[in-house]
Amino acid sequence: METNVGLSRRPAPLRAKRRTDDKDAEITRLLITCPDRPGIVAAVSNILAAHGANITESQQYSTDPFGGTFFLRLEFHTGGMVGRSSDLVEQFAQLAARTSMRWTMTEASDLKRVAIMVSKADHALQEILSRAHWGELKADIRMVISNHPDAAEVAAWWGIPFHHVPVTRENPGVEDAQLELLAEGIDLVILARYMRILSPRFLSEFARPIINIHHSFLPAFVGADPYQQAADHGVKLVGATAHYVTAELDAGPIIEQDIVRVDHRCSGTDLRRLGRHVERAVLARAVGWHLEDRVIVHQNKTIVFA
């Protein structure tokens, strides 16, 4: 019988998986926001049909078919054609100009570059990295930044560069250091239980999406220690909320929320323990939708084409 203790060889780093699997190879995603009026879908689909694109997923929403705002998400397969052919793009640009349309077109195979910020608790970080490993979250995870050294081991094991940027009175350049790290083309920051508030200046300079996981059902329990607030209120459910970060604390557009039942036996500590699993699931779902370009922000709310 053969029995041996496993070796400790590290898995291939996640960031090496720059290109995604074949299934995504020729998928292009189109997101559109424009004033609603008849004929938009026809105009868009005519351009795609003329280029031989096959629509594989389509979702739309209108705040009001008469004078409201129209949102459309398409995934299309571009067959032999080069996905973002210059002619296709040119025609969209012309249509967009005529119809006051905002639009983005991305290749599914072009993974977003992600930085994860974290403090001491590692469960949300672990979840993001595990789901990336299992192929559920397709991203180019470039770095972990933390104000504590605790997460270094987790990052190292997954082969992700770890940056320790302590937040202390003696370290006034914290945000500059963070911004310098993020300057290497990071598309998305995930606050995976990062317990410091980012300043308006940081938000303004980074100027790209930041997803935070707040450990309560917002707008209940804004601010510090929401589980203790929940315990003090004797609530029968505790929740978590993933939202885009804006200058107003815990008030940015909500992407996803969920809850877990609790009861009178639960202390603040118990709520933290139970809430942990909701937090990581909610954050992972929100991040996944963002990575697949399924979320549009409109007037501080989200349209999620899940």
Binding window for a copy of itself (CB under 8 A); candidates: 87-95, 150-158, 189-197, 205-213 = 150-158
Is the distance from CB of 125 to CB of 151 less than 8 angstroms? yes
Is the distance from CB of 242 to CB of 257 less than 8 angstroms? yes
| Min CB(15)–a copy of itself separation in Å | 13
Angle between helices 40-50 and 86-99 (to 10 degrees): 170
Residues 285-304 that bind a copy of itself (CB under 8 A): 300-304
Contacts of 59 (CB under 8 A, 6+ apart): 72, 73, 305
Residues 90-109 that bind a copy of itself (CB under 8 A): none
According to DSSP, the residues that pair with 254 across neighbouring strands are 243
Binding window for a copy of itself (CB under 8 A); candidates: 9-17, 86-94, 110-118, 187-195 = 9-17
Q: Does 60 bind a copy of itself (CB under 8 A)?
A: yes
Q: Which of 122, 140, 187, 250 is catalytic?
A: 250
Q: Does 130 bind a copy of itself (CB under 8 A)?
A: yes
Backbone region of residue 284 per phi and psi (left: phi > 0; alpha: psi in -120 to 50; beta: other values): alpha
Active site residue 36: no
According to DSSP, the residues that pair with 58 across neighbouring strands are 74
In the numeric block, which tokens belong to residue 72? 């459309």
| Min CB(93)–a copy of itself separation in Å | 19
Task: Report the Cα 195 to chain-centroid distance in Å.
Answer: 18
| Min CB(86)–a copy of itself separation in Å | 20
Q: Does 62 bind a copy of itself (CB under 8 A)?
A: yes
User: Among 100, 104, 171, 199, which residue sits at the site for a copy of itself (rule: CB under 8 A)?
Assistant: 171
User: Among 69, 85, 126, 228, which residue sits at the site for a copy of itself (rule: CB under 8 A)?
Assistant: 126
- Please provide residue 200's backbone torsions phi and psi, each rounded to the nearest 5 degrees: -55, -35
Catalytic residues: 250
